[in-house]
């Protein structure tokens, strides 16, 4: 059994740890985090070993980046690359309740939590996080570092750009594009293309005014 170190001592690390334990694919050595306040503690029974530099010295263990935001995951992967830690060192976590069909592709470093449903000809990039009960249907393409929160549902032919963030229970119409670095609010229904870097919310989803924070209240305003 291969050894695994999780990067990031937050809630996602706890969820990933449970998925890894259920799958039996890796032996978890512990968690690393650059916050010195958590060093020497434990996260859901996993010891916090120290900062990211612990990974630099361990050249045999696989690693998975457990940060909820795609751009944060990307920044950590870039830091690791500066220390010659590349794709061959990243683990991929698939909960045992998830089936990845042979017509589908899953990139290194990605995480599929419990009950993610994948149908046919789906392409999932590197360091993607799909939380419980996400549904990906035929011909969907999910870019590197994208985050799909619990209950997200993509109709067929949807394209999700790199580092996009789709909130809990958001849904996307068939053949619609979600732009790179964009955000789709929780519970939203996207019926048209969402441009790169923009934040949309509501039913149907539409652009939030510049400078407005995405909250439950703004999502409800967009519905009304």
Query: Which residues participate in catalysis according to the annotation?
Result: 138
- Whole-number Å distance between alpha carbons of 56 and 58: 6
143 annotated binding-site participant: no
Query: What are the backbone dihedrals phi and psi of residue 217, each rounded to the nearest 5 degrees, phi first?
Result: -65, -45
Sheet holding 171-172, edge to edge: 117-118, 135-136, 153-154, 171-172, 189-190
Of 33, 37, 62, nearest in space to 50 by CA: 33
The answer to whether 171 and 133 have CB atoms below 8 angstroms apart is no
- Whole-number Å distance between alpha carbons of 38 and 54: 14
Which residues sit in the known binding site? 68
Residues tagged in the binding site annotation for substrate = 68
């Amino acid at each position: 059994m291969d050894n695994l170190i999780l990067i990031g001592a937050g809630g996602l690390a706890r969820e990933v740890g449970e998925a890894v334990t259920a799958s039996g694919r890796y032996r978890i050595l512990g968690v690393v985090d650059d916050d010195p306040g958590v060093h020497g503690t434990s996260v859901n029974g996993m010891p916090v070993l120290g900062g990211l530099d612990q990974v630099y010295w361990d050249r045999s263990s696989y690693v998975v980046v457990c940060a909820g935001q795609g751009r944060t995951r990307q920044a950590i992967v870039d830091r690791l690359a500066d220390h010659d830690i590349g794709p061959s060192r990243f683990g991929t976590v698939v909960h045992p309740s998830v089936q990845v069909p042979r017509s589908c592709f899953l990139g290194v470093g990605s995480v599929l939590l419990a009950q993610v449903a994948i149908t046919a000809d789906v392409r999932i990039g590197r360091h993607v996080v799909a939380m419980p009960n996400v549904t990906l249907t035929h011909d969907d393409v999910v870019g590197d570092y994208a985050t799909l929160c619990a209950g997200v549902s993509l109709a067929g032919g949807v394209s999700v750009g790199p580092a996009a963030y789709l909130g809990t229970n958001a849904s996307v119409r068939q053949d619609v594009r979600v732009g790179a670095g964009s955000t789709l609010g929780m519970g939203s229904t996207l019926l048209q293309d969402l441009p790169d870097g923009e934040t949309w919310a509501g039913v149907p989803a539409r652009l939030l005014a510049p400078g407005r924070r995405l909250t439950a209240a703004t999502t409800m305003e967009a519905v009304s």
